[in-house]
């Protein structure tokens, strides 16, 4: 797991400026909470979390759906459903090429999630 997270971090291109307020900085508005809950709900399923990990860790930055379906013990329509949830949450982007769909991680969304979990530096007085 550590290796794949390092790969995600190496691929991360921070959006300037960060589109999300850090959790520890200000309280969320109801709209922000709704948006973030949708993202976390998408990530709460083990199949979707693994799909995101496989897409993010793929060496060329994008992966064909045909390469993803063979890695799971679920049907292709089930994988398509999970990819749709990830896409609707803004976590992945897709592009159709002939009969196949290619997926890549949404770098701005990863940057926003990274900013969301950022914490202020601990003060020296602590």
Q: Identify whether the C-beta of residue 63 lies closer than 8 Å to the C-beta of residue 54.
A: yes
What does the H/E/C string look like for 108-119? HHHHHHHHHCCC
Question: Residue 44: what pLDDT?
Answer: 95
Nearest to 50 by CA among 110, 4, 100: 4
Q: pLDDT tens digits for 56-105? A: 988 778 999 999 998 999 999 999 999 999 999 999 999 999 999 999 99
Q: What number is the average pLDDT over the span 21-47? A: 85
Domains of the chain: 29-92+99-119 (1.10.10.10)
């Amino acid at each position: 797991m550590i290796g794949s997270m390092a790969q995600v971090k190496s691929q991360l291109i921070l959006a300037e400026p960060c589109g999300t307020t850090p959790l520890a900085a200000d309280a969320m508005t109801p709209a922000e909470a709704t948006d973030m809950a949708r993202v976390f709900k998408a990530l709460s399923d083990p199949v979707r979390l693994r799909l995101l990990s496989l897409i993010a860790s793929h060496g060329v930055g994008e992966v064909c759906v045909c390469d993803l379906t063979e890695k799971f013990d679920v049907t292709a329509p089930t994988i398509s459903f999970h990819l749709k949830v990830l896409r609707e949450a803004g976590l992945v982007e897709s592009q159709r090429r002939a009969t196949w769909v290619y997926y890549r991680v949404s770098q701005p969304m990863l940057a926003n999630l990274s900013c969301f979990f950022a914490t202020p530096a601990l003060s020296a007085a602590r």
